[in-house]
A and B are shown apart, each in its own frame.
Chain A
Amino acid sequence: MSSPGLTAHRLGPASAVPVGEGRAFSVEGRQIAVFRLRDSTLRALDATCPHAGGPLADGQLDARKVVCPLHMRTYSFADGSCPEGPGVEVHPVHEEGGELVVEL
């Protein structure tokens, strides 16, 4: 059930991403950060902060955004935008049969 033009990638057990945290995955050579919000839904962004290469999967998050741990830039889960600089890409992600599936 992938969207047109995108390929689904299975990333393993959904339990790999705890509530309120992020984890990074390597998908076809790209680094993708998958986040689980406190309402248990999933979000996925590029894993690297375009500002100084910070690991977004290590950031703190809320329902709308994640905060890069290095210099506290924020990235919107809705569109990947960052008020202080360039944004990141947002990727569709969902759970399917107990597994994480991200579409690139």
Chain B
Amino acid sequence: MREDLVVVGNGMAGARAVEEILARGGAERFTITMFGDEPYGNYNRIMLSHVLAGEESDEIYLNPLDWYRDNDITLHAGVRVVRIDRFARKVFADDGQVLGYDKLIIATGSRTFFPPMDGMWVDDRTLTPGVFGFRTLDDTTAMLDYAQDHRSAVVIGGGLLGLEAAYGLRRHGLDVHVVQGGSVLMSQQLDEEAGAILRRILEDEVGIAVHTGQRPAAIRSTGSVAGVVLKDGSSIDADMVVVTAGIRPNVGLGVVSGLTVERAIVVDDTMRSVDDPDIFVVGECCQHRGEVYGLVAPLWEQAAVLADVLTGADPKATYHGSRNATKLKVAGVDVAQMGLKRPERDDDEFVRFSEPRRGVYKSVVIRDGRLVGATLVGETDKVAFLTQSFDRGLPLPDERVELLFSLAGPSEAEGAAEMDDSVQVCNCNGVSKGDLCGAVAGGCGSVAEVMAATRAGKGCGSCKSLVAQIVEWAGGSSAPDESASWYVPAIPLDKPALIEAIRAQGLRSVSSVFAALAPSGEDAGSKMALASLLKVVWAGDYIDERDARYINDRVHANIQRDGTFSVVPRMSGGVTTADELRRIADTADRFEIPMIKVTGGQRIDLLGVRKEDLPAVWESLDMPSGYAYGKSMRTVKTCVGTDFCRYGLGDSTQLGIDIEERYKGLESPAKLKLAVAGCPRNCSEALVKDIGIVAVGDDRWDVLVGGAAGASVRQGDVLATVDGRDEALRLTGVFMQYYRENGRWLERTYDFVPRVGVDELKALLVEDRDGIVAGLEERMQAAVDAYRDPWLEGREPATEGQFHGSLPLIPLPQVPIRDGSSSPAGLPSANGAMA
């Protein structure tokens, strides 16, 4: 049974919210009805300035009427909702309709603010002929009509909208005056100097007369507009007035319906009215954390959060406000602005470049090394980089001038390559770099196709060149990036080719692999993966260079945020004894272990162990390593199987212990977590393990691979149902060895299994289609035979200072602090103090 969703408002916010809801499967959950004040489908308000300027306007409709029909949405266009009865959950429309709802979205937007002024109105409802707002499609077409046979216009208000109106009318040949009360044009976005440069362009190049510091006192009218009288007594003759002196949120519906309204309808972080959990508010008519947004970019974010919460796609989604960043084309001039216009504190850095003759102005404000503001007029090629730095607080180049200009730095195309996927490219339509790349991947071959598919560049158009660069970059080379298949970044070979080269050339150490195969030699970031691979290839015949190991593998423990380590002894199958527990307790006492934690893998973790204590801790535990630190076989969880459980169908406990004992510590592309369950009740969670084994009765076992319940959740695929526990043990090893030899570095089985395909794995490993199983078993046996408990190294360190502390421990709030009974880190110190 679908719920009734009523959307009041069919503007950009209302329609976007519905689009986001549909994208989350909302059509299955809701019967959607929309009310729109205007008698149209949904259009892009940003495009109105293009329509006015007579530029391309075929794209103004975001969703034509077909879209409503195709998505089963009932649209009441030209009908206004006048009241909500929240207790009966009904809306009342001005055409007499009454409609019930389960969920309601208010997206009534805002309207033109007409400052009180003589001559503005004929009566309560009718503007003097020749006076226009600039807000709707009707405003725009009426203005265009009127401009046909009139000669001059005054625009009241020199903000963004006013300048767009002025520019559009000027394009139709009218004499245009802009009257701005303050001293700066677009004062919301620009400082004096930037405003002055924009003004010069408008006056000299576009031919608009700008009057700053002037307030209109009245509109002169002779039945229709005749001019504007200013407060200083002067007047401007004109037969048309456009009022762009601000907007006001449409909150009347909220007020009469008893919702909390301050500057707009107040919402919480889930975009719900603070008064009613079934009413959501989005766009210019909502007030979130004291902010009311008048630009389009924030509403994309709001609509996404609203849809996440409303559909349950992500019930915990929250909106935290939008950073104030705009990029637009105003009167033909590119303008971008974000954050602060001017420095506010004494130690804020302020870097400026101004070239009025060319109409270029750039400034940045930096606080504590982070970009907190930027203004660009006339030349906005650095906007992508600046937006990213602003949004993410990225580190800035020491040469601050590089923030304003591309010196020898990356070209624009490289800029496109370096942008993060989530960076918004088209603010007008909320399109990110990732969306553009997705469109290219989805088959759009040209810039025009990508723009058509995503609407990027269809708003103000200021992002078109960046869109083109990204499309070119994303599709530039039709071949996929080759390096993506390399096993390590330093060597241009995929894993099978690399293994073949290592075998053919007999390369047994990481340094010899670099020397033979890496074009640029040694690379720190490739060492760990190569060390792991060499152990897989050569088992015991590998030449172990300690520097090739990651710190965890050097000291056989897992490094923690404060530089201490965690110690997890092996406890095969999660089965322990009173003796072991006693030793663990004694060890924890003796070494003042700050935290003892039972892990998800059925073991016990001793956290906060200092590096120099590791050998003594191991000796005191007298247990083998549990490999909780490596890219390796970690643990096998079990349930209690048949010994005690009333339901058990197979001895899962013993099988788990045997698997862990046999394959303990084996290197693999990523960690391996296993489990064995004694019946399909699956108490040990074997269905979501890298390898899971489930008893199904009569000594038959399901072997599942590729499951996960971490950052990804995936149920394992059944590789085979085998007869006998020994067969399960063997097949586990075969799969493990195949993964060891073919998995990409850090590729978990939940990616590896779908990549290869479970049917292919069955053919290769169960049916032995290609005759590789015997080889896999043989190499696995060699690896098992080469095993040596690394914790024995505690008795005889592999290198000098293997267990020297590397830092004085920094006490962090999350890590309990020990008392200072011994020296902080056992550091050797200079000047003879070294023992």
Contacting A at CB under 8 A, from B790-835, are 799-801, 804-808, 810, 812, 825, 827-831, 834
Chain A residues, CB < 8 A from B825: 24
In the complex where A60-B527, A61-B524 touch, is A24 in contact with B831 (Cβ < 8 A)? no
Pick from B270-278, B403-411, B547-555 the stretch touching chain A: B547-555
User: Are B830 and A21 in contact, with the CB atoms below 8 A?
Assistant: no
User: Are B827 and A38 in contact, with the CB atoms below 8 A?
Assistant: no
Chain B residues, CB < 8 A from A53: 561-563, 807, 810, 812
Question: Is A45 in contact with chain B by the CB < 8 A criterion?
Answer: no
Question: Is B268 in contact with chain A by the CB < 8 A criterion?
Answer: no
Q: A16-B801, A21-B799 are in contact. List 4 more A-B contacts (CB 8 A).
A: A26-B808, A38-B547, A55-B563, A74-B524
Which of A20, A33, A62 sits near B546, CB closer than 8 Å?
A20
CB distance from A98 to the nearest CB of B (A): 14
Complex Cα distance, B546 from A36, in Å, reads 13
Interface size on B, residues (CB 8 A): 40
CB distance from B161 to the nearest CB of A (A): 41
Interface size on A, residues (CB 8 A): 45
Q: State the majority secondary structure of interface residues on B.
A: loop
Question: Is A70 in contact with chain B by the CB < 8 A criterion?
Answer: yes
Complex Cα distance, B807 from A47, in Å, reads 7
In the complex where A31-B808, A60-B524, A65-B524 touch, is A20 in contact with B547 (Cβ < 8 A)? yes
Chain B residues, CB < 8 A from A56: 806
Complex Cα distance, B369 from A11, in Å, reads 36
For A14-29 the 0/1 string (1 means CB < 8 A from B) is 0111111111111110
Q: Which 8 A-B pairs have the closest CB atoms?
A: A20-B547, A55-B806, A57-B806, A26-B829, A55-B807, A62-B522, A58-B551, A62-B524
Which of B546, B554, B799, B806 sits near A24, CB closer than 8 Å?
B806
- A/B pair count, beta carbons within 8 Å: 119
Which of A12, A47, A65, A72 sits near B834, CB closer than 8 Å?
A12
Complex Cα distance, B826 from A57, in Å, reads 14
Complex Cα distance, B547 from A62, in Å, reads 9
Chain A residues, CB < 8 A from B808: 26, 31
In the complex where A54-B563, A66-B524 touch, is A20 in contact with B827 (Cβ < 8 A)? no
Question: Is B395 in contact with chain A by the CB < 8 A criterion?
Answer: yes
Question: Is B420 in contact with chain A by the CB < 8 A criterion?
Answer: no
Question: Is B467 in contact with chain A by the CB < 8 A criterion?
Answer: no
Closest chain A residue to B550, Cβ basis: A60
Which of A17, A28, A86 sits near B801, CB closer than 8 Å?
A17
By a beta-carbon cutoff of 8 Å, the part of chain A in contact with chain B is: 9-12, 15-28, 31, 33, 38, 47-48, 52-63, 65-67, 69-70, 72, 74, 84-86
In the complex where A60-B550, A63-B521, A69-B550 touch, is A25 in contact with B830 (Cβ < 8 A)? yes
In the complex where A26-B829, A69-B559 touch, is A33 in contact with B806 (Cβ < 8 A)? yes
Complex Cα distance, B562 from A54, in Å, reads 7
Complex Cα distance, B799 from A23, in Å, reads 11
User: Are B559 and A58 in contact, with the CB atoms below 8 A?
Assistant: yes
Complex Cα distance, B552 from A65, in Å, reads 19
Chain B residues, CB < 8 A from A9: 830-831
Chain B residues, CB < 8 A from A23: 801, 804, 806, 828
Complex Cα distance, B521 from A84, in Å, reads 23
Question: Is B291 in contact with chain A by the CB < 8 A criterion?
Answer: no
Pick 30 A–B contacts, CB within 8 A, sort by A. Answer: A9-B830, A10-B831, A18-B801, A21-B546, A23-B806, A24-B804, A24-B805, A24-B807, A25-B829, A26-B828, A26-B829, A28-B831, A38-B511, A47-B807, A53-B561, A53-B810, A55-B563, A55-B806, A55-B807, A58-B554, A59-B551, A60-B550, A62-B527, A63-B521, A63-B522, A67-B525, A69-B552, A74-B525, A84-B395, A86-B369
Which of A18, A20, A22, A86 sits near B806, CB closer than 8 Å?
A22
CB distance from B570 to the nearest CB of A (A): 24
Complex Cα distance, B827 from A17, in Å, reads 13
Chain A residues, CB < 8 A from B523: 62
Question: Is B596 in contact with chain A by the CB < 8 A criterion?
Answer: no
Question: Is B528 in contact with chain A by the CB < 8 A criterion?
Answer: yes
Complex Cα distance, B810 from A53, in Å, reads 8
Question: Is B759 in contact with chain A by the CB < 8 A criterion?
Answer: no
User: Are B830 and A11 in contact, with the CB atoms below 8 A?
Assistant: yes
Instruction: Count chain A CB atoms within 10 A of each CB in B559, B800, B806 and give the residue with the most.
Output: B806
User: Are A20 and B801 in contact, with the CB atoms below 8 A?
Assistant: no
User: Are B528 and A60 in contact, with the CB atoms below 8 A?
Assistant: yes
Chain A residues, CB < 8 A from B806: 22-24, 33, 47, 55-58
CB distance from B395 to the nearest CB of A (A): 5
Question: Is B545 in contact with chain A by the CB < 8 A criterion?
Answer: yes
Chain A residues, CB < 8 A from B552: 69
Complex Cα distance, B550 from A64, in Å, reads 17
CB distance from A81 to the nearest CB of B (A): 9
Complex Cα distance, B735 from A14, in Å, reads 46
Chain A residues, CB < 8 A from B521: 62-63
Closest chain B residue to A55, Cβ basis: B806
CB distance from B326 to the nearest CB of A (A): 28
Complex Cα distance, B545 from A38, in Å, reads 11
Chain A residues, CB < 8 A from B369: 86
Closest chain B residue to A27, Cβ basis: B830
Which of B545, B546, B549, B800 sits near A16, CB closer than 8 Å?
B800
Complex Cα distance, B827 from A47, in Å, reads 12
In the complex where A10-B830, A31-B827, A70-B561 touch, is A20 in contact with B807 (Cβ < 8 A)? no
In the complex where A62-B523, A69-B559 touch, is A20 in contact with B804 (Cβ < 8 A)? no
Contacting A at CB under 8 A, from B483-523, are 511, 521-523
CB distance from B290 to the nearest CB of A (A): 33
Chain B residues, CB < 8 A from A19: 547
CB distance from A10 to the nearest CB of B (A): 7
Complex Cα distance, B381 from A8, in Å, reads 49
User: Are A16 and B528 in contact, with the CB atoms below 8 A?
Assistant: no
User: Are B807 and A12 in contact, with the CB atoms below 8 A?
Assistant: no
CB distance from A92 to the nearest CB of B (A): 15
CB distance from A60 to the nearest CB of B (A): 5
Complex Cα distance, B398 from A86, in Å, reads 10
User: Are A18 and B546 in contact, with the CB atoms below 8 A?
Assistant: yes
Chain B residues, CB < 8 A from A69: 550-552, 559
Which of A20, A24, A47, A59 sits near B548, CB closer than 8 Å?
A20
Instruction: Count chain B CB atoms within 10 A of each CB in A21, A28, A48 and give the residue with the most.
Output: A21
Chain A residues, CB < 8 A from B522: 38, 62-63
